[in-house]
Structure 1
């Protein structure tokens, strides 16, 4: 299945392509060797959106060349290699000459085998016959805007310097030829090309340095007076005062409110302060002096142009948050979720409704009644084969059983499968009776029925700075319905890392607070507790809600005060680690328990709080549910809500499972730092972690290295983590303390050492620490060179490599459940 831009998938006569220039992927259906239809489809529901007559698919690679050019490319590389080796031998550097000759000849063999291979970008000067520039594609009479030309020049100088340093290191190791160094244009080249265009330079300030940028003989200077809007952070009284002043000066005022609901709420607020304001959805409206218009929409920053009397205020200034929008989502049909478990590969065991267990061999084309079609080929006992049309995929599903143990194949036309189904029906009947008894017992316990949503609840939800996904809204509805019921809630909320589970939990938490109940929020690590505490304080700042945290980041006196306030009912939300489970924790009126990253807690841990208050509502958050929890949810003992819709502009993490190699690790760190990012280096041995930090420093001397582990003094650990969040370090060498829930969008490369010693869910959680922004993220899962892996470790690493796409947490949990 294609899930992200640049991907493609082939299944028989169906080709799916997600072109980089489109919002939805394409499905091309073939009839023999002819195209039968081209359709746009939705990745979530797999339903068609539109039919197309023709389509242009753009390449996902930056380097494109035809096969017939390969011979010339290889000849040019060989020619330059011979010249360089001769030059090295003249300087009596024959050992290095042998090294570079071996490296480059290895790449030449790769060129001859395939036009594209990892590292092909090292040969750009040989692939491109002549360099090109974006300005070459533009007409001479074009108008070009340059925003802060001096900064553009400085940024280009820095990029060229980084490129030259990278090439210098590769050249010293004999990995590239000298020709590869000068492949980028500098600013002088660009300014020369710009002389033929009509240029508009925009700058905040004019400095003497600008003289060398203006090469035109004649230019005019315009000074446009403008003001950047300051933020109101939700303080309406300050906004009201400014609006009054703007109206008095006869300015035209436009306020962007993000959504209609916010816009109408803001209009009512201004009217209540005797300011005439209107909310309008139309875009083509005349702006009249002295009038205030509120509408939907969003801007990064508002602005004021005093000379023309125009003021534009963005939703960010009004509400004090960045409102990021996601594209509108399509309605999903029931039953799509289960398709996540039905991916088929040759060799997989399948179950046919009528014929039982068989082995999937592949897809074959067969001519039946003079019509050539694709069929699934399934092998059964005794070498018999069953051919199923691809249109009848719904008659089979993937076999789920004990990992590593092949099931016994059914016999086509035999009676064994019929007997097996009969036994299963009897077992299901027995299970159903047990479940009926269990549900009767659960319903006998009366819980607290929470009230319907309040006005404050709606206001709180309106302040969420994103457009909710369909899955989030559905999960919120299910949780609220549970809470409003008198039956105690026991719901599992499953969603991949970064899919918005915390916001769903926050809304349940706020609902409980509105009825005067206290909330216990249980997390596995102190660092995660601190991050949740900071986020909750920020999210709840506009409401009279007392949030506290109890963990080893708190001193003994601070903890004692929290315990006293908790018992008196002065604390609404208490966030904590295992410390929450100790006997001295006494709530005044506990109404909701939320468990984050439940796979990190034992059964006894979670049941302790339930036993203290048997009628308490319980909400469990997880990305990879442990097999016991998932099993309980699948058989209905616990209710389950699933968020499987990824945020917009989120890409699957590129995962590499490999032997540890210093050069690859160094290259990975340098590449991430070159794009302004940060790196997690996971090293799970506290005793020698400082030595590892020094080794990384030697490997990448320019990087700023930080070290964090669970045995550090509490305040020191907190300082290190906050410094890393504030980008004071480039690389954080750390233990699995980062495993749970940390949200650092600027960290987009993770390197895991000795990954074979870690569990499957643990590796998945660690990989989930990166890829939480619109940047492509990388995970390097490494093990010691030449180490013989155990069968279990090998399967774990294979699974983490296999499941890289969105929503893989469920698949990994299913693999564990097997």
Structure 2
């Protein structure tokens, strides 16, 4: 008899899924790296200080914990631990040590006002760009065709939720009559290329041409292979153009673009030269735009006014910046790793020839390839010779940025084609190379490299479902300075997937900010710290748009209550994270969620922690009702509402009467005086205050 093989999609009419929808998102909104003693922090009112840790203080019989911040001279600021959310890690993208602010001096106010002026200029430029784009006329692409669905069904993996959202956003932009200008941001291997492929297919279905612009010839060839493979079943002509091709080949491609016989072209900045013209260009896809020069960027600016542009970047865009630019720069974020992605096994250790030999042999035994990084051109050849002597059976080649372009590209292309097993190179490999077969990385003298470089290098391996290894080596018996120790510690600590949101990737994120805002903003970011800069930018944009939201009232609760995380309830190094989680809980629901999580993980909260959570709940209800202050004066609680509070006076009066409270009114500001019980507060009296606010509304 005959055997017929049918796929699940043919039988069921859809792709079969194992229920794997990608890993968990790697970046959570609002997650902050935990503060560690010895790190620099920014207080919005007092400036840059050095976080020294937590300390317990008892004042008039009330015990509370405080975050201690040291300023210039011997000045110290004690921030109540439940308000620790006001402190932000100082980030500037530089490894230089910031200057500590003087408590009470005008220096910090001046730095803030200078940054505010710069921020307003950026906001004006961004809004002008946005307004011009909204009125520009472009081409509105047709809705999806049945072929589009067939093309997308051929994708062999299950899309992540982020990918599906990004694809929908890109298509919606393309179907609008104004030119698209969308930034697609996601870590390496998170599926940006698939989004680009689908956008390109949509453009070609409307008989428009697509140009894919990449910074290097190697990347151009990688993209060419991917596009050629995916478009093979369709009548679509894909070509690639770079200086590496012969003059005759280049002329043939340029002719095809001009007469419309080539649908998709992938190339380097050669595509931007004056002799290249298109019959009907509809979409430009740019990979890592920040790596192009000033002249090329100016040409891209002109393109943006006429055709749809999709820009892809693996440099992370900080969440705070992303939020402040919402509605100005259209941005899609891919935050979910593929479901089969494994974290890279990371080792930081003294250099050892036996270890190097074994690491290379283990990789070669499973048919893989190796990157060996030594970041000095002088001596690179000797290092390559040593690797050859250690592993004679390995085919070793070296590469660095000072080689002639053609020779460098030939070496890299041969390595991609597996003609070599080990590539001994400088850090030129840190950007853009996507070779799934390379899954061992060895970095010599890793203590000499910056954190951003270490992280980028680590990202060159572990890009498939195969377990990858990264070895960061330093010379035996060498005294390593504190900065290098911290960097190596960070690269080892953050070995999990999506460690990007933690400190290891923070300086990269600030580079991402520079790509959007311009390098000239760097000094202002350094002066006030990155988080505060982004907050100022968001406020400036909203103000210029004329829809500045009323700032939420921060409720200050100052009551004689012992409220802290007792010793032994959580590990000491996690205390600050617990305080921050409680401080960041803005709504009653969020406070209750934090309390439930603590109870679930560490057991019933002791009395001081119950009090701390009760204070947080009171503060959350107060914030909701625009209460400015909850204090105690002798035998009375004072609840002071913000001016202009819209609560009805009758409602306030009725609830006050029910609770035996007095209501005072001064112009448009209400104050409620409630009788207090006992000398110090307990969870019971805090509950009574909270119930009063709940009754109000």
TM-score category (smaller protein): 0.5 to 0.7
Deviation at 1:449, TM superposition (A): 2.6
Residue 489 of structure 1 aligns with which residue? 180
- The answer to whether the Cα contact below 8 Å between 2:397 and 2:411 also exists between their aligned partners in 1 is no
Find the partner of 2:414 among 704, 720, 726: 720
The 1:486/1:631 distance shift into structure 2, 3 A limit, reads: same
Residue 537 of structure 1 aligns with which residue? 228
The 1:772/1:426 distance shift into structure 2, 3 A limit, reads: closer
Deviation at 1:383, TM superposition (A): 4.0
Instruction: State which structure, 1 or 2, has the greater radius of gyration over its C-alpha atoms.
Output: 1
Residue 266 of structure 2 aligns with which residue? 575
Per-residue CA deviation, residues 376-415 of structure 1 (Å, 9 max, x unaligned), is 444467544434345x554443233465243444648x99
For the residue of structure 1 that corresponds to 2:143, the secondary structure is: coil
- Answering whether residue 81 of structure 2 is matched by residue 386 of structure 1, we say no
Deviation at 1:349, TM superposition (A): 3.0
Deviation at 1:567, TM superposition (A): 0.6
Per-residue CA deviation, residues 324-383 of structure 1 (Å, 9 max, x unaligned), is 873466799xx93453x5442222233446666544333456789999987644446754
Per-residue CA deviation, residues 564-599 of structure 1 (Å, 9 max, x unaligned), is 111111111111123222222111122222222334
Q: 1:767 and 1:530 mapped to 2: Cα distance? A: 23
Residue 605 of structure 2 aligns with which residue? none
Residue 813 of structure 1 aligns with which residue? 508
- The answer to whether the Cα contact below 8 Å between 2:101 and 2:108 also exists between their aligned partners in 1 is no
Find the partner of 1:730 among 397, 406, 421: 421
Name the Cα RMSD after superposition.
Answer: 4.4
Deviation at 1:549, TM superposition (A): 0.9
The 1:778/1:537 distance shift into structure 2, 3 A limit, reads: same
- The answer to whether the Cα contact below 8 Å between 2:23 and 2:338 also exists between their aligned partners in 1 is no
- The answer to whether the Cα contact below 8 Å between 1:349 and 1:357 also exists between their aligned partners in 2 is yes
Deviation at 1:560, TM superposition (A): 1.4
- The answer to whether the Cα contact below 8 Å between 1:755 and 1:783 also exists between their aligned partners in 2 is yes
Q: 1:368 and 1:459 mapped to 2: Cα distance? A: 71
- Answering whether residue 361 of structure 2 is matched by residue 670 of structure 1, we say yes
The 5 A counterparts of 1:458-497 are 458-497=149-188
Per-residue CA deviation, residues 431-476 of structure 1 (Å, 9 max, x unaligned), is 5445433432333432323233222222222221111112222222
Structure with the larger RCO, 1 or 2 (CA within 8 Å, 6+ apart): 2
Residue 195 of structure 2 aligns with which residue? 504
Q: 1:723 and 1:437 mapped to 2: Cα distance? A: 47
Deviation at 1:747, TM superposition (A): 1.9
For the residue of structure 1 that corresponds to 2:202, the secondary structure is: helix
Deviation at 1:506, TM superposition (A): 1.4
Find the partner of 2:51 among 360, 378, 387: 360
Residue 406 of structure 1 aligns with which residue? 98
Find the partner of 1:618 among 296, 302, 309: 309
Residue 56 of structure 1 aligns with which residue? none
The 1:667/1:590 distance shift into structure 2, 3 A limit, reads: same
- The answer to whether the Cα contact below 8 Å between 2:91 and 2:506 also exists between their aligned partners in 1 is no
The 5 A counterparts of 1:22-421 are 245-246=2-3, 255-257=6-8, 263=9, 266-267=10-11, 279=12, 297=16, 326-327=20-21, 336-339=28-31, 342-352=33-43, 357-364=48-55, 376-379=67-70, 383-389=75-81, 394-401=85-92, 403-409=95-101, 411=103
The 1:554/1:433 distance shift into structure 2, 3 A limit, reads: closer
Deviation at 1:510, TM superposition (A): 1.7
Find the partner of 2:296 among 601, 605, 608: 605
The 1:631/1:701 distance shift into structure 2, 3 A limit, reads: same
- The answer to whether the Cα contact below 8 Å between 1:326 and 1:466 also exists between their aligned partners in 2 is no
The 1:431/1:719 distance shift into structure 2, 3 A limit, reads: closer
Deviation at 1:497, TM superposition (A): 1.4
- The answer to whether the Cα contact below 8 Å between 1:521 and 1:573 also exists between their aligned partners in 2 is yes
Q: 1:508 and 1:519 mapped to 2: Cα distance? A: 9
Q: 1:296 and 1:508 mapped to 2: Cα distance? A: 21
- The answer to whether the Cα contact below 8 Å between 1:361 and 1:377 also exists between their aligned partners in 2 is yes
Q: 1:722 and 1:430 mapped to 2: Cα distance? A: 46
Q: 1:587 and 1:466 mapped to 2: Cα distance? A: 34
Deviation at 1:812, TM superposition (A): 3.1
For the residue of structure 2 that corresponds to 1:608, the secondary structure is: helix
Q: 2:286 and 2:295 mapped to 1: Cα distance? A: 13
Residue 219 of structure 2 aligns with which residue? 528
Find the partner of 1:565 among 247, 256, 262: 256
Q: 1:791 and 1:550 mapped to 2: Cα distance? A: 47
The 1:445/1:685 distance shift into structure 2, 3 A limit, reads: same
For the residue of structure 1 that corresponds to 2:279, the secondary structure is: coil
Q: 1:715 and 1:386 mapped to 2: Cα distance? A: 57
- The answer to whether the Cα contact below 8 Å between 1:677 and 1:746 also exists between their aligned partners in 2 is yes
5+ residue gaps, structure 1: 1-241, 247-252, 258-262, 268-278, 280-293, 299-323
Deviation at 1:633, TM superposition (A): 9.5
- The answer to whether the Cα contact below 8 Å between 1:552 and 1:714 also exists between their aligned partners in 2 is no
The 1:792/1:551 distance shift into structure 2, 3 A limit, reads: farther
- The answer to whether the Cα contact below 8 Å between 1:633 and 1:640 also exists between their aligned partners in 2 is no
Q: Which deviates more, 779-788 or 635-644? A: 779-788
For the residue of structure 2 that corresponds to 1:593, the secondary structure is: strand
- The answer to whether the Cα contact below 8 Å between 2:22 and 2:159 also exists between their aligned partners in 1 is no
The 1:363/1:452 distance shift into structure 2, 3 A limit, reads: farther
Residue 780 of structure 1 aligns with which residue? 471
Residue 63 of structure 1 aligns with which residue? none
The 1:433/1:679 distance shift into structure 2, 3 A limit, reads: closer
Residue 628 of structure 2 aligns with which residue? none
The 1:347/1:691 distance shift into structure 2, 3 A limit, reads: closer
The 5 A counterparts of 1:621-632 are 621-624=312-315
Equivalent residue pairs, number: 503
The 1:426/1:587 distance shift into structure 2, 3 A limit, reads: closer
Q: 1:810 and 1:446 mapped to 2: Cα distance? A: 39
Q: 1:731 and 1:354 mapped to 2: Cα distance? A: 54
Deviation at 1:770, TM superposition (A): 0.4
- The answer to whether the Cα contact below 8 Å between 1:760 and 1:800 also exists between their aligned partners in 2 is yes
Per-residue CA deviation, residues 720-754 of structure 1 (Å, 9 max, x unaligned), is 23441xxx643233455644433333321112346
- The answer to whether the Cα contact below 8 Å between 2:21 and 2:161 also exists between their aligned partners in 1 is no
Q: 1:540 and 1:815 mapped to 2: Cα distance? A: 37
For the residue of structure 2 that corresponds to 1:527, the secondary structure is: helix
The 1:372/1:805 distance shift into structure 2, 3 A limit, reads: farther
| TM-score normalised by L of structure 2 | 0.61
Q: 1:719 and 1:330 mapped to 2: Cα distance? A: 35
Per-residue CA deviation, residues 659-678 of structure 1 (Å, 9 max, x unaligned), is 65434422432343455543
Find the partner of 1:641 among 321, 332, 336: 332
Per-residue CA deviation, residues 675-719 of structure 1 (Å, 9 max, x unaligned), is 554311235677876654432121122334355676465995476
